[in-house]
Amino acid sequence: SHTIYRKDYRPYPFTIERVQLHFALEPQHTIVTNTMHVIAKEHNATMVLNGEDIELQAIYINGKALTSYEYSDNLLQFKPSETEFDLKIVSSCNPSANSTLMGLYVSGQSFFTQCEAEGFRRITFFPDRPDVMSEYIVTIEADKKQYPYLLSNGNLISSQDLDNGRHQAVWHDPFLKPCYLFALVAGDFDIREKTSHTRSGREVLLQIYSDKGSGDQTLWALDSLERSIQWDEKRFNLELDLDRFMIVVTHDFNMGAMENKGLNIFNAVYVLADPETATDANYMGIESVVGHEYFHNWTGNRVTCRDWFQLSLKEGLTVFRDQEFSADMAARLLPPEAALSARTVKRIEDVTHLRAAQFPEDAGPMAHPIRPDSYQEIGNFYTMTVYEKGAEVIRMQHTLLGEEGFQQGMQEYFRRHDGQAVTCDDFVNAMESVYKARHSGKDFSVFRHWYSQAGTPTVNVQLDYDTHQQTASITLTQHCDKVGVEKLQADMEKKPFHIPFHIGMLNQAGQAIPLNIEGLEDITPTLQNGVLLDLKVPSQTWVFKGIKERPILSLLRDFSAPVSVIYDYSFEELAVLCAHDSNPFARWEATQELISREILRLTQCIQEEKSLALNPIIHQVWQHNLSDPLLDAAYRTWILALPSEKVLLERLHPITPLALNKALQFVRQSLATVHRDVWISTYQHYHAQEDYQPDPISIGKRSLKNLSLNYLLSIKDPEGIALAKTQYQQAKNMTDRMGAISALLHYADKADTETINQDFYQRFENNPLVMDKWFALQATSAQSVKTIRTLMDNPLFTLRNPNRVRALLFQFCMNNTEAFHQNNGEAYTFWAEQVIALDAINPEVAARFARVMDNWQRFAEPHKTQMQKALQSIAQQTALSKNTTEIIEKALS
Ligand code: HT7
Ligand code: ZN
């Protein structure tokens, strides 16, 4: 297969000043006329244009038909004889046959486009690369009755009726943009709109277009958009630059949403919500994705990427911004203590997500730096690493610079690069300029290694306490193995990372020890009696004076760097941190570490068929945290929850999924049995029927109530089952309804769940987003592959809709350990079959699904061999897409 390298970047030898597009829309035969005003930047250069799955009709230069061109392998090439000219290309495509959801496609009765990363070439011939930026004028012509709304980027210039019941609209985007930000929508919609004023007083029209009949479900999204606009003004000093900002909903979409200039296109799941059909998690997801796409207007659109290797330039930074937005929204209007807790909950969620999905990626065959050096298919590099680890790398720069310095760096970045297509280096250079000015003699030369090296570093911590001197010496030693393609580069030597390591110390009674930082180098004071150790070398020791007793270490507070910590805690030390650490993130972390160690020990016992017993310290900690009156419900939920199964799997060598699953069940049941009465009273305490509000306090109450229900149902407690049934029947919102049905389906006997399961189906049959929830519930509670095959025969199932595929197939293979990893290997064969079937329809989604087996080599037998066979059966297919080929090849390499 063909690999593309970052080092091979060359600027495009032509400027395309202006692009005039004309669309004659017909579902089966759309004609696109593309007139470009071109200026050569180099003498005698060949013009190369991309084109894929489209039919070339004619080419004209300055109105004269061009006959001397070459067209093969999706490339159109010719040598223009002039240095400035109009290039007109006519082509056609078939949107209704386009199941890839890239380029121009039909979803429902409407037309949509998706151009990032390389979809524009499926619409017209063009240099489909982000560093070619142009002004766009777009004319859309279609049947007026079927497609009353015709939308594109920017401002509506004119609209008029034509003959034969057709009409047209002309749009002009005044900002230069790369073609991946182009968008077109045509169809009939409900509209919710609002005029708003930017800080400088400009009036802007905010609109949400959604399918007919769904307009009453777009209020939360529109409010979220307005909050995003205000937040970006306040926190980043960035204002909306358009008079009109539109969001359009589609049900068929490969990802969450797309930040096309002024015309964002969204997967319905990140827009539509009302209390009866959307959960708290859905509401929070909408707020964060609406924010994310809006924030791209500056970080991605005004300043864009030079090439796709720089993807994290916009994605890492924009994820960081949406994380901060959500944290600020959660903390808004709360008193300081509660605000800190709300922020911590958001941080815990983000870190859990990173560890569950990015850490495995960084340890597997697809491992890559946040700025990759090579790829075969860019669609495969919209990864957890580029997005989530990318955001952590931005967050570390924020930590090193502080809020004020970071904002100065952002201003400098825009001052230097507004309107340009730039690199990750350009961003770091802007930040470094502020860092150098504030810390003489320091720079980001070591920090840059986060961009060029993959893998999750480990930081080994050693404490030497000297009773006589009353000093505590802390030695941090970092290490990172070669991963992914790094292993093939014999001459590559891994360099140290720059790791901001936030620590605190507690005495044996759990009180914070004030850290004497005087005279110590490389230490920056931070909040809550902690300090930030700046590790830039393989190993370094810091000596703390005036420490009167052996301290208990509180490490990597707030997850100040994306690393794994190795430190030999005693259970007793962890228990003190679990109850007393003044840093709420570290306190949660201690509970997770304590119970994770126990679960891993029990997993071993199960392997060795030994009897199981839970360490009583765990019960003491859970009892303490169940009753600590200072904790709010949202935080308490996280501190009482069990660690993610995915995070735990990463710590097993080799991976024994069924034993781990049993250990987790055993621990859940022990905690349920011993604290049974407290779970009941906790449930009752938080089970108030209030009007639905998606604010952090109400969300916290519902999550703690539903956690209690899960513990109770894990032991099939009769009162718990009765409470769950009543909660389902009386539910006035989807969070309560889902909490109940989910606990019932996962833990109760079939006799207790059948009626409710059917009721749910019948109640929501006509709502595709709720049916996705129903399919996901079936997928995660199914006992075997047979059930999944039956569900695939359900008339509501289709491989053509990515949301449905994610609900049933992804959920089964990723979140149903017991059935997916059954020892007969049947589910692995099923998985391979479905990857192949999906690949023929939608390569992007198929390639994501193919990654389920990434870490097969780390599994124990019989899984390992069975997984390998399943992978090989895919590799043997002849007509596999480039997307899936890259994933399977890398997995088997
Ligand atoms: N920037 C957007 C990326 C995206 C995408 C990529 C490949 C295929 C389909 C896609 N849809 C959207 C999403 C974002 O990060 O905001
Ligand atoms: Zn993004």
Find out whether the beta carbon of 315 lies less than 6 Å from any atom of ligand 1: yes
Which of ligand 1's atoms lies nearest the C-alpha of 289?
16
Find out whether the beta carbon of 362 lies less than 6 Å from any atom of ligand 1: no
Relative to beta strand 523-525, strand 70-72 is: unpaired
Instruction: Tell the CATH topology of 458-568.
Output: Immunoglobulin-like (2.60.40)
Find out whether the beta carbon of 290 lies less than 6 Å from any atom of ligand 1: no
Average pLDDT, the chain: 97
Q: Contact at 8 Å (CB) between 316 and 428?
A: no
Question: How many C-beta atoms surround the C-beta of residue 405 within 10 A?
Answer: 18
Neighbours of ion ligand 2 (CB under 5 A): 315, 318
Per DSSP, the three-state class of 90 is: strand
> Which letter does DSSP use for residue 512 in this model?
B
Nearest to 515 by CA among 548, 537, 539, 540: 548
Q: Which two tokens stand for residue 103?
A: 């380029």
Residue nearest to atom 1 of ligand 1 (CA): 258
Cβ neighbours for 62, distance < 8 A, ≥ 6 positions apart = 82, 85, 86
The per-residue pLDDT for 530 is 87
List, as own/partner pairs, every contact residues 620-627 make where C-beta atoms lie below 8 angstroms and the sequence separation is at least 24, other chains included: 620/575, 621/575, 621/578, 621/579, 621/591, 621/594, 622/671, 622/675, 623/675, 623/678, 624/578, 624/579, 625/578, 625/579, 625/591, 626/675, 626/678, 626/682, 627/678
Find out whether the beta carbon of 116 lies less than 6 Å from any atom of ligand 1: yes
pLDDT in tens, 73-100: 999 999 999 999 999 999 999 999 999 9
Relative to beta strand 458-466, strand 499-506 is: unpaired
d(CA 882, CA 893): 16
Query: Quick one: which H or E segment has residue 544?
Result: strand 539-545
C-alpha of residue 316 to centroid of ligand 2, in Å: 8
**Which residue among 121, 179, 258, 378 has the greatest number of ligand 1 atoms within 8 angstroms of its CB, and so is best to mutate?**
258
- Length of the chain in residues, anyone? 893
Which of ligand 1's atoms lies nearest the C-alpha of 379?
7
Could you give the count of Cα atoms lying within 13 Å of 653 in the half-sphere of its Cβ? 3
Find out whether the beta carbon of 377 lies less than 6 Å from any atom of ligand 1: no
Q: Which ligand is nearest to the CA of 317?
A: 2
Within the chain, which residues score under 70 in pLDDT?
1, 516-528
Residue nearest to atom 10 of ligand 1 (CA): 255
C-alpha of residue 435 to centroid of ligand 2, in Å: 26
Which of ligand 1's atoms lies nearest the C-alpha of 101?
9
The per-residue pLDDT for 517 is 63
Query: Quick one: which H or E segment has residue 414?
Result: helix 390-417
Q: Contact at 8 Å (CB) between 859 and 870?
A: no
d(CA 610, CA 615): 15
Burial class (CB in 10 A: 0-12, 13-18, 19+), 675: buried
Distances (CA, A) of 558 to 2, 310, 639, 767: 41, 27, 15, 39
Find out whether the beta carbon of 382 lies less than 6 Å from any atom of ligand 1: yes
Find out whether the beta carbon of 388 lies less than 6 Å from any atom of ligand 1: no
Q: Contact at 8 Å (CB) between 502 and 531?
A: yes
Nearest to 780 by CA among 848, 861, 710: 710
C-alpha of residue 55 to centroid of ligand 2, in Å: 31
Per DSSP, the three-state class of 332 is: coil
The residue behind tokens 């202006």 is 18
**Which residue among 100, 255, 297 has the greatest number of ligand 1 atoms within 8 angstroms of its CB, and so is best to mutate?**
255
Find out whether the beta carbon of 247 lies less than 6 Å from any atom of ligand 1: no
The residue behind tokens 């999706």 is 74
C-alpha of residue 314 to centroid of ligand 2, in Å: 7
> Which letter does DSSP use for residue 775 in this model?
H
Q: Which ligand is nearest to the CA of 181?
A: 1
Domain 4-188 matches domain 305-452 at the CATH topology level: no
Q: Which two tokens stand for residue 798?
A: 């289709």
Which class is 305-452 in CATH? mainly alpha
Which of ligand 1's atoms lies nearest the C-alpha of 319?
15
How high is the ipTM of this complex?
Answer: 0.98
pTM exceeds cut of 0.95: yes
**Which residue among 289, 382, 803 has the greatest number of ligand 1 atoms within 8 angstroms of its CB, and so is best to mutate?**
382
Question: How many C-beta atoms surround the C-beta of residue 763 within 10 A?
Answer: 14
Find out whether the beta carbon of 117 lies less than 6 Å from any atom of ligand 1: yes
Q: Where do the structural domains in the chain lie, given as residue ranges?
A: 4-188, 305-452, 458-568
Residue nearest to atom 5 of ligand 1 (CA): 116
φ/ψ bin of 519: left (φ > 0), alpha (ψ from -120 to 50), beta (otherwise): left
Q: Which two tokens stand for residue 329?
A: 């929204």
C-alpha of residue 258 to centroid of ligand 1, in Å: 5
d(CA 386, CA 358): 9
Q: Order of strands across the sheet with 203-211?
A: 189-197, 203-211, 244-250, 263-267, 257-258
Q: Contact at 8 Å (CB) between 314 and 296?
A: yes
Query: Which residues carry out catalysis?
Result: 293
**At residue 346, what is the residue type?**
K
Find out whether the beta carbon of 598 lies less than 6 Å from any atom of ligand 1: no
d(CA 740, CA 709): 8
Whether domain 4-188 has CATH 2.60.40.1730: the reply is yes
Which of ligand 1's atoms lies nearest the C-alpha of 315?
15
d(CA 784, CA 892): 27
Find out whether the beta carbon of 255 lies less than 6 Å from any atom of ligand 1: yes
Full DSSP string of 11-77: --SEEEEEEEEEEE--SS-EEEEEEEEEEESSTTPPEEEE--S-EEEEEEETTEEP---EEETTEEE
d(CA 173, CA 171): 7
Find out whether the beta carbon of 114 lies less than 6 Å from any atom of ligand 1: yes
Q: Which two tokens stand for residue 159?
A: 């609209």
Question: How many C-beta atoms surround the C-beta of residue 521 within 10 A?
Answer: 7
- When computed from its CA atoms, the radius of gyration of the chain, rounded to whole angstroms, is 28
C-alpha of residue 247 to centroid of ligand 1, in Å: 15
Question: How many C-beta atoms surround the C-beta of residue 164 within 10 A?
Answer: 6
d(CA 19, CA 775): 44
Backbone angles phi, psi at 449, to 5 degrees: -60, -20
Q: Is the dihedral of CA 243, 414, 293, 233 positive or negative?
A: negative
C-alpha of residue 389 to centroid of ligand 2, in Å: 13
Q: Which two tokens stand for residue 552?
A: 């208990």
Q: Contact at 8 Å (CB) between 184 and 168?
A: no
Q: For the chain, how are helix, strand and coil distributed in percent, rounded to 5? A: 45, 20, 30
Find out whether the beta carbon of 379 lies less than 6 Å from any atom of ligand 1: yes
Cβ neighbours for 53, distance < 8 A, ≥ 6 positions apart = 93, 98, 103, 122
Which of ligand 1's atoms lies nearest the C-alpha of 119?
8
